[in-house]
Amino acid sequence: MVDSVMFWNEPNNKSHWAFEIDPEWQIFAEMVKGAATAVAAENSRLLRVLGGMSPIDAGFVSNMQRQGVLDCMDVVAVHGFPLDWNHWQINDWPAKLQEIQAVTTLPIWVSEVGVSTFGAEEVQVFGVDRTAELLVGRVPRIHWYSLFDLPKAWPATTRHREAEGSSYYRHFYMGLIREDGTPKPALEHFRKHAPAMGIGQWFHFEDPRLDDAVEWLRLLGVRHLRTGLSWADSFRPNAEAWFDRQMDALAEFEVTLTFCFTPEHRGIQAHHTSPPLVIDEYADFCARMVRRYGSTAPRIDTATLPYSDPAVIV
């Protein structure tokens, strides 16, 4: 069941939004405000989540507040990968949350947090347990990224590819389960922290891993799942059939549904990061998806979700 929708993914990251076109996020702000209004018109009970920022940046949140975006949101989401990509240590998580709490009263979700096994699988074991110690009870929702390794034959969604060096290849080792379907050591550690920790898992178009993912999520006791429906994919042949299959398979979980990726032919640039030529078309897509998959979801009161003071460091 879809209980929340997220607008875009890492909009303050150059791999996911074209800053050269929209350096102050003015187009982004108008696009998201329109989409949030359209979603509320379809189902006002759905939580509306500002796409998980990466890096964690209070200045970005303040910018969104000034432009009226946070007035349309119920939640602000952050992403953090201190053992792989961020320039801060894992023990800084409480301080990073405080930075965002200082500029907004909205609840904060950690919609992506993870550790790659690029260097050693033991690092992920430590990362799962320490992340749980630092975040469980401090934020209402946590989505561990991810369940599966990215198959090496698939591209990571990034503009930089091999130019990133090892940073690029870490994308392929973020899963708790290897590409061959075997579990990594961290999987059993994650199981101890579910359902307090959920999973973030992107599914590619007609992804053959979907049914296996459902079985693993059940075995792990996961309740909260974050995934996405791609605006770009919606123009593929048989897109509706694939979206139906994906959402039907995930119906038993409490799903945060992310809407992102600009269709090449609908962007100012022919790239998934581009602002759209017509911002209302993104809102139309979001509304259409909510009408189809999230029209009956109950309203969640974020005040009743687990939360404690992130200033306290374990």
| pLDDT > 70? residue 301 | no
Q: How far is CA 121 from CA 115, 117, 268, 270, in A?
A: 9, 5, 41, 38
Model confidence, pTM = 0.93
**DSSP state at residue 136:** B
| pLDDT > 80? residue 253 | yes
Q: Which sign, positive or negative, has the C-alpha torsion 36, 41, 42, 43? A: positive
Two tokens, residue 113: 């947090």
| pLDDT > 50? residue 95 | yes
Q: Is the Cβ–Cβ distance between 185 and 122 less than 8 Å?
A: yes
Two tokens, residue 220: 């792990």
**Is the domain defined by 2-301 classed in CATH 3.20.20.80?**
no
Amino acid making up residue 281: E
Amino acid making up residue 17: W
pLDDT tens by residue, 135-159: 999 999 999 999 999 998 887 765 5
The helix, strand and coil proportions of the chain, stated in percent and rounded to the nearest 5, come to: 40, 15, 45
